[in-house]
Chains A and B, each alone.
Chain A
Amino acid sequence: AQSVTQLDSHVSVSEGTPVLLRCNYSSSYSPSLFWYVQHPNKGLQLLLKYTSAATLVKGINGFEAEFKKSETSFHLTKPSAHMSDAAEYFCVVSEGSNYQLIWGAGTKLIIKP
């Protein structure tokens, strides 16, 4: 069965410093992995997705994530945080052609001035 664990419910960083949001997954088959961002009272925006191509995936707004099969991880990073990055981030997994998305509980990213 698929599952997603986001290891931190809240992450706080200073503006201009690196961001690391951690995600571990469990999947029986080759998974597709996604990161979505949700700004307060807004919809969901796809940041990036991994679908068995390059293991280092670049997304929008300077974010990237690395698929590490041996560690079953898909951590999200950004070299330098911006105030506009403050939001909730969700790690999501899907197996094969399965249309059901399995969501992590989310990580709230707080940016300190």
Chain B
Amino acid sequence: NAGVMQNPRHLVRRRGQEARLRCSPMKGHSHVYWYRQLPEEGLKFMVYLQKENIIDESGMPKERFSAEFPKEGPSILRIQQVVRGDSAAYFCASSIGNGNLGNYGYTFGSGTRLTVV
């Protein structure tokens, strides 16, 4: 079992470009969560998706950020017109169940480190 796979590991974008971050959940997991870690801070919840559905996007910035988890393929976190403040590590986690952590828990990927120059 390959675990949660995120790519790329490192991504450099110029201001105004688009960033696409990919997350392939563990085999058999149909729930995906994205978190952002700003420098010197803990992780902050962004969005929770199931296949083809956004369940909770309460942590997503209102503009420029979007996420999807299509029927086939990885989950994508898209950031349009990136700014320096978007520089962070973005982590994806997956779970087999509906996120009841007492029973299922999370498995995290290794993250994508986005640098905006």
Which residues of chain A have a CB within 8 Å of any CB of chain B?
Answer: 4, 32, 34, 36, 41-46, 49, 51-52, 90, 92, 94, 97-101, 103-106
* Bound-complex Cα distance A32 to B101 (A): 8
A103 adjacent to B42 (CB under 8 Å): yes
B101 adjacent to A105 (CB under 8 Å): no
Nearest to A30 among chain B residues (CB) is: B102
A103 adjacent to B33 (CB under 8 Å): no
A101 adjacent to B105 (CB under 8 Å): no
7 closest A-B pairs by CB: A99-B99, A103-B42, A43-B110, A51-B102, A44-B108, A97-B100, A103-B43
A52 adjacent to B102 (CB under 8 Å): yes
Nearest to A9 among chain B residues (CB) is: B40
In the complex, whether B65 has a CB less than 8 A from a CB of chain A is: no
B42 adjacent to A106 (CB under 8 Å): yes
**Apart from the given pairs A94-B101, A99-B100, 11 other A-B contacts in the complex at a CB distance below 8 Å:** A34-B101, A43-B108, A43-B109, A43-B110, A44-B111, A51-B102, A90-B42, A90-B43, A97-B99, A101-B101, A106-B40
